[in-house]
Amino acid sequence: MKINPLRFSETQILNILYKIPSATAIYGDQDFTIDAANDAMLNIWGRNQDVIGMPLAEAIPEIVDQPFLALLKNVWQTGKVYEGTNTPASLVINGVRTVRFVDFTFRPLLNDDGQVYCIMNTAVDVTERYQKLLSNAKTEEILRFSIAAANVGLWHLDVETKRLTVSERWKELFEFSPQDDVTLESAFAQLPEDYQQRIRSEVDKALATSGNYDVEHPITNAVGERIRWVRAIGRVSSVGPEGHTHMSGVIIDITDQKMQDVRKNDFISMVSHELKTPLTSLSGYAEILLSKMSEYNDGFTAGALAKMNHQIKKMSNLINGFLTLSRLEAGNKLYVEKTVFNIDKLIREVIDDQKLISANLLIHLDDCDEIEVYADRMKIGAVLENLLSNANKYSPMDKNIVLTCAVKEKRVRISVADNGIGVSKKDIGKLFQRYYRVDGDRSNSSSGFGLGLYLSSEIIAAHDGAIWVTSDEGKGSTFYFELPLGAPLSAGLHS
């Protein structure tokens, strides 16, 4: 078996690659893993260096339904060069679906046995050349064909007149006939009732901020079944001699992706419910044993039972987290049951629980007077547990964690600071994303699914609070969250 020769000359090839002015990338295996890509190619893709080492289909998932992967596969199998000119590429750049035109080459590199070991991709963005020709009717026809090939629908809304103009593909996705005249109200009628107000609110928000519009929603057919999911992307602009405000954009079919998410969430929910029953029994037995141990002078067994009970509680919280996640991904709001309670007392309870599982955990509680909040006590406790658990997990053996709580402008601010490994600048903005875990040897060796901070942020958001982090890589991190103080005057009017 011949070793891939690219690995023997990686430095030399990279030096050459980054000096080439034209957009260039190298795919090193039959999954078309991006071994290298210079800045010019990354600019065409609308990506950054994070995609290096990823299969092309994962790095740029929107090309899966376009011809490029099939062309690459054919080049790998035949060893023949492929050249494309004036080829449309539909890309998602900064969250907006964009059609770019490129001239490109897929050039196979062969080893001594004549086998392909990598493919060099060069490209030139010729979109500007096309834009200069848009006044030509033939070019407009080519552009329409290119957009159709990208499988997206187009829409345009004159906000003042409420006149909606859509493409044939848009009509197909919304289940209108090609000859139908589409109005804004007839379009809304194709949305489930529980989504109509949500979409109107997102449109109003985009108009109020003159910003972008990006919404996923289902479309119903004539018998009211939810059969298709779409993603609508657009932006607000003021154009034309009449000075009207306009919105325009594209719509993409994401049904397959959504159905996969539904199946995944159903599976998570089913497994989580099945696990809760035996876990509840274990918890009950542990509580009985702990109560009986009070009659005996056996400190070791009592301590072991207390730790076992804590681990059962930890697993139960993890299962509840998965159940919460499946509800959120199904489009349901996070349910919170608010009461008035002293958060300083809750903090001390969580600290005591954490000390049960880590004898060398040093927590200094600073500046924490009696402070009343109006919140869901159990869910805020889960946030505190997550932050303290993370601080414990990513700190050195001589763990020293400082926790503070103080009133700041009619809100209570709580912070958890550690002297652990810290968080890099590239990771810090992604910490509260679902399933996100920080790269690195220390973090990868720690257990977890990347859900704790995501669920914590959702809990705090449901309380009209805020959560954030500051960090100095290698020196430690401080996580903060804020909650409103006390109960609102109207709290007693709602059941």
Q: Are residues 122 and 263 in the same domain?
A: no
What is the mean predicted confidence (pLDDT) over 133-149?
A: 54
Q: Is residue 137 part of a domain?
A: no
CATH number for 270: 1.10.287
Q: Please say if the pLDDT value at position 240 is more than 60.
A: no
Predicted confidence band of residue 454 (pLDDT cuts 50, 70, 90): confident
Give Cα separations from 375 to 169, 173, 250, 482 (angstroms).
47, 43, 40, 11
CATH number for 192: 3.30.450.20
Q: What are phi and psi of 124, to 5 degrees?
A: -130, 125
352 within 8 A of 346, measured Cβ to Cβ: no
Look up the domain containing 194 and give its range.
151-253
Q: Are residues 232 and 297 in the same domain?
A: no
Which of 253, 276, 299 is the last residue in one of the domains?
A: 253
Predicted confidence band of residue 278 (pLDDT cuts 50, 70, 90): confident
Say which DSSP state 184 is in: H
**Distance from C-alpha of 400 to C-alpha of 409, rounded to nearest angstrom:** 29
Q: Is residue 68 part of a domain?
A: yes
**Residue-level pLDDT at 58:** 93
Predicted confidence band of residue 47 (pLDDT cuts 50, 70, 90): very high
**Residue-level pLDDT at 45:** 94
Q: Are residues 367 and 454 in the same domain?
A: yes
Q: What are phi and psi of 162, to 5 degrees?
A: 65, 20
Indicate the range of 77-91, 105-119, 384-398 predicted with least confidence.
384-398
Instruction: Report which of residues 6 and 470 the model is more confident about.
Output: 470
Q: Please say if the pLDDT value at position 147 is more than 90.
A: no
Closest CA to 81 of 35, 120, 111: 120
Q: Are residues 388 and 439 in the same domain?
A: yes
Q: Is residue 138 part of a domain?
A: no
Q: Is residue 479 part of a domain?
A: yes
Q: Are residues 400 and 306 in the same domain?
A: no
pTM of the model: 0.44
434 within 8 A of 325, measured Cβ to Cβ: yes
Q: Is residue 165 part of a domain?
A: yes
Q: Are residues 302 and 322 in the same domain?
A: yes
Q: Please say if the pLDDT value at position 264 is more than 70.
A: no
Which of 99, 131, 163 is the last residue in one of the domains?
A: 131
Q: Is residue 305 part of a domain?
A: yes
Q: Is residue 114 part of a domain?
A: yes
What is the mean predicted confidence (pLDDT) over 242-261?
A: 77
Q: Is residue 93 part of a domain?
A: yes
Instruction: Report which of residues 492 and 388 the model is more confident about.
Output: 388
Number of domains present in the structure of the chain? 4
Indicate the range of 40-49, 184-193, 435-444 predicted with least confidence.
435-444
Q: Are residues 355 and 322 in the same domain?
A: no
What is the mean predicted confidence (pLDDT) over 161-172?
A: 85
What are the CB-based long-range contacts (under 8 Å, 24+) for 326-331? Answer: 326/265, 326/266, 326/268, 326/269, 326/272, 328/458, 329/261, 329/265, 330/262, 330/265
Q: Are residues 400 and 469 in the same domain?
A: yes
Q: What is the pLDDT of residues 176-217, one digit of tens each?
A: 888 888 888 888 888 888 788 888 888 888 888 777 888 888
Q: Please say if the pLDDT value at position 242 is more than 70.
A: no
**Residue-level pLDDT at 443:** 47
